[in-house]
């Protein structure tokens, strides 16, 4: 009995210590927003009310752990910069913005947890994220029920947006578009009709690869093989030897940078593939790809979804990013601009519907916000002029095709070239 008590007291001490650790709010934040929960309690259903001096809280679901933490961190940085910029411009009617970042881990379970956390927090106005499509699928039903609109910067699965889900939006372009244009480029521009398709078995990579595959087939091209690898694999020689036995003219890879770079590099060591062209997708449009591929990157094609972005805006963004995080945004992943835009888009929509009531509180009606996001038209973002359609596709611009030359990406076709 005494021993039980002893352990029990230790248990208690540990629990209290833990409570002490989580209880106070992070000291990093500005002292202005003390206990917004109390002041900002939504007293009217369907409305978020923020007391004066409070903050507008935007949730963020980012893949900070899990299979692709690098793009996740990059996307988080993009969102943080957007918040910084918004606040630097004085916020909204004097109300500052705050990003509530959560780890969605690129995983449906974590996405569900994060979604529930946001749904339970009545001060969350809108959400940016999730990073991966799987994670976003976890968010969808919960945010739909909680009436919290979200804008995903990078979930490109065609099924994320639909007529059934009115809170679902994204600034990324659906894979359907990119896959089709890539196929068209390969068959018609490059004139290559025998291609091999490789994907990384992620919903993103496989989905895109299948769209590409059917696109090639529709253009009377031949898909000599369709192979899968795993995210995190580093040795693709056996797979490539097999692909090479069929003698394709081009290998198309649907997936992320590291795998893309390694495949491009290991192709040069595979008999039958020395002269084969390589093409990958926006997941590989990064510095990391160039680094992983090394010299083999030269001459490979990468497609990317981009908008009519102004050079100055991007340069300014890159400079801020470098200054704050000490790395170039392209080092970590491709979707930082989309992330920045998603937050700015949300802020613009909030601005359109928010009003200050008599007692100085900021009132945001959830339903109005949901439709406001859908009706955003001609919003100038980093990725171009954003316009949302009726099912939440807000992606700006179109698909560009780049070729690597002298260690950098140079555009050879696609959006903006015509």
Partner 1 sequence: MTSRPVTARAAGTDGRAALKHFTRAFGAAIVILVVWRVTTVGLAEGYPASFWISQALNGLVLGGVYALVALGYTLVYGILFMINFAHGEVMMIGGITGYFALQFALARGWMEGPWAIVVIALLTIMVIGMAASVLIGVALERLAYRPLRQAPRLVPLISAIGASLFLQYSVLLIFGVSPHSYRKPALISGGLRLGDVFIPYTGAIIFITSILLMLALYFIIQRTKLGRAMRAVAEDRATASLMGVDVNAVIVVTFMLGSALAGAAGVMLGFHNTVVKFNSGFIPGLKAFTAAVLGGIGNIPGAMFGALILGLIEAIGPSALGIPTEYKDVIAFSLLVLILIFRPTGLFGEVLSEKKA
Partner 2 sequence: MALQSAAGAIRTGLVGFAFLSYLILIGIPGRIGGSALPVLALISALFFWLNLRREAAHHLARNPEQGLEGDEGKPGWEIGANADSDRSYLHALLTARPGTALALRGLLAGLTTGLLIAIVSGIFAAAMGNGVAIQPVLDKIVPINVAALIGVSPGQIVQAEVSFIRFLLQILLFAGAGTLAGLAVSAGGSNLTTAARSGFLAAHVSGPTLGSVGRFAGIALPFVLLAYIAWIGLPGVTAFGTNEGTVRLLLTLIATGSGLFALRLSRPGREQRIVAVLLGIGVVSMPFILDQFQNSVMGLVFIFVMMGLGLNIVVGYAGLLDLGYVAFFAIGAYTYAFLSAPFSSPYISGLLILMGISPDSPLLGYWMALPVAMLTAAIGGVLLGIPVLRLRGDYLAIVTLGFGEIIRLFMLNLGELTNGPRGILEISQPALFGMSPAGVTFGLLSSQGWIFLLALISSALVAFVAIRLNDSRLGRAWFAMQEDEDVAEATGVHLVRTKLLAFAIGATFAGMAGQLYAARQINIFPENFTLFVSIDALALIIVGGIGSPAGIVLGALALKGLPEVLRGVDEYRIVTFAALLVIMMIVRPAGILPSARRRTQGTDPDEAGFDDSGELMEGLVSGEQGAASPELANGEEEVR
Q: Identify which of 288, 254, 286, 251 has the alpha carbon closest to the alpha carbon of residue 270.
A: 251
Closest distance of CB 396 from partner 2, Å: 25
Distance CA 111, CA 130 (A): 7
Distance CA 410, CA 254 (A): 20
Q: Out of partner 1, partner 2, none, which partner does residue 137 contact, by CB within 5 to 8 A per kind?
A: partner 2
Residue 79 within binding range of partner 1, rule CB under 8 A: no
Q: Which residue has the tokens 């680094």?
A: 291
Part of the chain binding partner 2 (CB under 8 A), chosen from 23-31, 244-252, 256-264, 409-417 = 23-31
Among 331, 365, 368, 380, binds partner 1 (CB under 8 A): 331
DSSP letters, 286-329, are SHHHHHHHGGGGTT-EEEEEE----HHHHHHHHHHHHHHHSS-H
The binding track of 218-247 with respect to partner 2, each residue x by CB under 8 A or -, is: ----------x-------------------
Q: Out of partner 2, partner 1, none, which partner does residue 152 contact, by CB within 5 to 8 A per kind?
A: none
Residue 60 within binding range of partner 2, rule CB under 8 A: no
Q: Identify which of 283, 387, 355, 359 has the alpha carbon closest to the alpha carbon of residue 67.
A: 283
CA contacts within 13 A on the Cβ side of 313: 15
Q: What size, in residues, is the chain?
A: 418
N-term to C-term CA, the chain? 82
Distance CA 281, CA 28 (A): 38
Residue 5 within binding range of partner 2, rule CB under 8 A: yes
Which residues in the 276-315 window bind partner 1 by CB under 8 A? 288, 291-292, 294
Among 3, 220, 275, 378, binds partner 2 (CB under 8 A): 3
Among 235, 316, 367, 389, binds partner 1 (CB under 8 A): 235
Closest distance of CB 418 from partner 1, Å: 35
Cα–Cα distances in angstroms (integers) from residue 269 to residues 192, 196, 225, 226, in the given order? 21, 17, 19, 20
H/E element, 392: none
Among 49, 50, 56, 73, binds partner 1 (CB under 8 A): 73
The residue among 25 and 189 lying less far from partner 2, judged by its C-beta, is 25
Residue 116 within binding range of partner 2, rule CB under 8 A: yes
Residue numbers at the binding site for partner 1 (CB under 8 A): 65, 69-70, 72-73, 201, 226-230, 232-235, 237-239, 241-242, 245, 258, 261-262, 265, 269-272, 288, 291-292, 294, 331-332
């Amino acid at each position: 009995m005494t021993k039980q008590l002893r352990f029990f007291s230790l248990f208690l001490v540990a629990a209290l210590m833990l409570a002490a650790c989580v209880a106070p709010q992070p000291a990093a934040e500005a002292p202005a927003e003390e206990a917004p929960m109390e002041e900002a309690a939504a007293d009217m259903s369907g409305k978020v009310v923020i007391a004066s001096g409070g903050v507008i809280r935007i949730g963020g679901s980012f893949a900070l752990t899990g299979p692709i933490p690098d793009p996740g961190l990059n996307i988080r940085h993009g969102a943080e910069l957007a918040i910084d910029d918004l606040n630097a411009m004085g916020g909204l009617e004097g109300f500052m913005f705050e990003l509530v970042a959560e780890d969605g881990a690129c995983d449906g379970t974590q996405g569900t947890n994060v979604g529930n956390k946001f749904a339970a927090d009545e001060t969350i106005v809108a959400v940016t994220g999730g990073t991966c499509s799987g994670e976003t699928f976890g968010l969808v039903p919960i945010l739909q029920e909680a009436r919290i609109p979200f804008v995903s910067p990078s979930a490109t699965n065609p099924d994320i947006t639909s007529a059934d889900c009115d809170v679902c939006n994204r600034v990324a372009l659906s894979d359907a578009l990119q896959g089709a244009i890539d196929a068209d480029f390969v068959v018609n521009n490059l004139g290559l009709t025998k291609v091999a398709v490789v994907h990384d078995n992620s919903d993103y990579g496989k989905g895109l690869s299948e769209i590409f595959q059917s696109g090639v087939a529709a253009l009377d091209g031949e898909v000599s093989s369709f192979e899968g690898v795993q995210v995190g694999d580093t040795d693709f020689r056996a797979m490539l030897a097999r692909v090479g036995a069929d003698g394709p003219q081009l290998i198309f890879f649907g997936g992320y940078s590291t795998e893309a770079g390694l495949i491009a590099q290991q192709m040069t060591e595979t008999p039958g593939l020395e002269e084969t062209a390589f093409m990958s997708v926006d997941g590989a449009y990064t510095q990391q790809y160039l680094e992983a591929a090394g010299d083999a990157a030269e001459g490979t094609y990468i497609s990317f979804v981009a908008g009519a972005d102004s050079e100055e805006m991007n340069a300014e963004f890159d400079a801020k990013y470098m200054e704050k995080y000490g790395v170039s945004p392209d080092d970590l992943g491709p979707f930082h601009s989309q992330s920045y835009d998603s937050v700015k888009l949300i802020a613009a929509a909030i601005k359109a519907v928010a009003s200050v009531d008599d007692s100085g509180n900021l009132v945001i009606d959830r339903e109005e916000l949901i439709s406001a996001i859908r009706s955003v038209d001609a919003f100038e973002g980093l990725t171009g002029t954003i316009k949302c359609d009726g099912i939440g596709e807000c992606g700006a611009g179109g698909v560009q095709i780049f070729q690597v030359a002298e260690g950098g990406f140079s555009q050879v076709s696609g959006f903006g070239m015509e």
